[in-house]
Amino acid sequence: MAQQPNDVRQWPDESDLVSERPTLEGSLTESAFEALPTQIALLDGEGDIIHTNRAWRAFGEENEIVGAPDTIGQNYPAVCRGADDEFARQAYEGLTAVLDGERPEFAFEYPCHGPNEKRWFTMRALPFEHGDERYVLVLHLNITDRKLSELRVDAQNDTLETLNDINDAVRDVIDSLLGEVNRGEVEAAVCERLADSRLYQTALTVTAGLTGESGRVRKAAGELDAERVDAGSLLEGGVADAIEDGEPRVFRHAAENEAVPERLRTLADEAAVEAYATVPLAYRGTTYGALVVTARRPDAFDERERTAFTLLGETVGYAIDAIQSKRVLQADALTQLRFDVSDDTEFLVRAADETGASLELEGLVPSAEGVIGYFHVEDADPAALVAAAGDDPTVTNARAVVDGDDDEPGLFECTITGDSALVALSGYGASVVSASVEGGEMELTAVVAPEADVRSIVEAVSAAVPENNLTAKRETEGTITSMTGFRDRLYDELTDRQREILEAAYFGGYFEQPRRSSGTELADSFGVSSPTFHQHLQAALRKLTALSFETAEN
C-alpha cells in the first residue's frame, strides 16, 4: 500500500497496538484530513500513527492489508524497517532522520505497483510542533499520471536519439565518399559511431563465403572482445539469413534465445547483451556482408529503429559499391579476371546454344534490377533471341534493337535479373570489358580494383553459375580511363542514374539516325516513365556538353 513504499501488507495484530490512541475526532483538523484526496497520516514523536484520513483507509481496504485499514497505533518507521525493500529502507532512514530532528523534512519518489497496474507515489514527511509535543505529517501523493508521461517522453527521447545516431552514421558514410576512403574505413567509421552511442554496446561487420562457412569479422568496435566472436556463430545467429534474403533480423533475450547459437548465448550472458540485430549491407541486389549491433536495452530495435538500420545498411552497401566502381574507373593498375562459363543457367549461354547465334558484348549498364546488356548478333536473327527469352524469369525487356543483315550485325537488348556471371560481377563493382558467347560457351573479361576481394567475387560468380572456370588473373594497366581524364571528370559530374541512362541511350542506338531505340523503349528497360527518362538524359547531356566546351576552351 502507498503508506509504505514496498506495499508490505503484514501490519501488527490488534493485540500489539498501544492501548490508548490519541485522536482528533470531531475536530476541524479531522474534517479537513478526511476531505483531502491525498493519503495522509499523522505520527507522534515516536513515529506511531495517531491519525489517518479517508484516502489512507480506502487504499488499505482496496489493497487488502492485514489489520485495520486505518493502521492507527502502528509504528511507521518500524514497519518500513522490517520490509525487505530498498525503497522501504529509504523511507525508514528519511523518517527516522526527521523524527530525530536531523533533517527539516524528507521526500522521495517510489513505485508501488499493483497486480494489474503500474503506480508511483511521492512520500513527504513534514515535522511540526504542537504545544510541547513533536509530530510528523506524512503524505503519499499519487504521481502515476506524471510518471507515465515522463516515461513516454523518455522513450520518445531515446527513440529520437537512436534515430539521430543512425542518421549521423548515414551522413558520415555519405560524407566519406567525398574523400579518398576505402571500404574498411567506411565500415570502421560506422562501427565506431554506433559503439560510441550510449544506446549500443558493440558493432561489427561480417562477410560470408560461398557456403557460409568461410566468413570473417572485418571491423569491430565496442565492449565485446571481437576475437571471441567467431564469424561462424554469427552466420548461424542470423547473419547468413540477412545476407541471403536482404532482410534484417532482431534477436531479443539473447542469453536465453534458443535461436541463438550456444557460443553467442554465452557471450551475451557474460556481456549482459539483451538484444542484437543483423543488418544486410546491400545495394542493387548485391549483399557485401552484414552489420551486427548489440544493445543492453530489452526493447532495442523496434520498428522505427529497424527501418533506420535498413537505410544505414543500404547506404553502406551503396558506399561500398561506389568505392569499388570508382576505384575501377580511376586506378592506374587493375586486376583482370577472365572466366569461361558453360552453365546453361546463364541465359546468354542457353539462348546462343538454342538459336545458333554468336554474341559479342557491345555495352553493359548496371540497373536496379540487374544489368542491361547490348549484344551484337551474328548467325541468327535477334528476334530468335527475343523468342528464347520468352517467359524466362531471369530476363526482362528483351527486344531486337537492329534486325541485322549481311552488312551489319543485329543488336539485341535485354535486362538480366537472375543468376548470371554478368550480374554477379557488376554487383561487386567489376567492369566487364568484353564478353563473347558461342556454342554453349561464354568467355568474358572483367577488371576490378587492385584491393578488391577477388575471392569473394569468384565465389559470387560460382554461386550464380556453378559451371565456370577462372582461367586467368593478372595485373594490368588502368586503361579504362585516366585519373585526370575527361571521362573521370564526367563521371564525377553525373549521378548514377544519369550515367546509366546516358550509356543505355548510347549503346541502344538512341543517338543514331534513324534511331535504333526510342526513348519509350529505353525508359521501359529502366522501369521508368518516358518523361523521367528524358529528364535524366537531358541533364546528363547538359553536363556532358558543358564539360566538353570547358575542355575545348582549355
Note whether 66 and 9 are within 8 A (CB): yes
- Strand pairing partners for 135? 128
pLDDT tens digit sequence for 14-62 = 444 443 444 455 667 667 778 888 888 889 989 899 888 888 888 878 7
- Among 54, 72, 66, 68, which Cα is nearest to 7's? 66
- Strand pairing partners for 338? 445, 472
- Which numeric CATH code is attached to 156-328? 3.30.450.40
Q: How far is the C-alpha of 295 from the C-alpha of 554, rounded, in Å?
A: 56
pLDDT tens digit sequence for 284-334 = 767 888 999 999 888 888 888 888 888 888 888 888 877 766 666 555 678
14-142 CATH choice from 3.20.20.70, 3.30.450.20, 3.40.50.150, 3.30.70.360? 3.30.450.20
- Among 490, 468, 472, 469, which Cα is nearest to 481's? 490
Q: How far is the C-alpha of 193 from the C-alpha of 160, rounded, in Å?
A: 16
What DSSP character marks residue 13? P
Give the per-residue pLDDT at 408.
81
Q: What is the mean pLDDT of the chain?
A: 81
Give Cβ neighbours of residue 381 (< 8 Å, ≥ 6 apart).
400, 403, 404, 410
Domain boundaries, the chain: 14-142, 156-328, 330-551
pLDDT tens digit sequence for 507-522 = 888 988 888 889 899 9
pLDDT tens digit sequence for 79-132 = 888 877 888 888 899 999 999 999 999 999 888 877 777 888 888 999 998 888
pLDDT higher than threshold 70 for residue 186: yes
Quick one: how far is CA 272 from the chain centroid?
A: 21
Percent of the chain with pLDDT over 70: 84
Domains 14-142 and 156-328 share a fold: yes
For cell 546453361, the residue is: 344
pLDDT tens digit sequence for 489-512 = 777 788 888 988 998 998 888 988
First-to-last C-alpha distance (Å) of the chain:
87
Element (H, E) at 546: helix 530-553
pLDDT higher than threshold 80 for residue 484: no
pLDDT tens digit sequence for 137-151 = 999 888 888 888 877
Note whether 221 and 192 are within 8 A (CB): yes
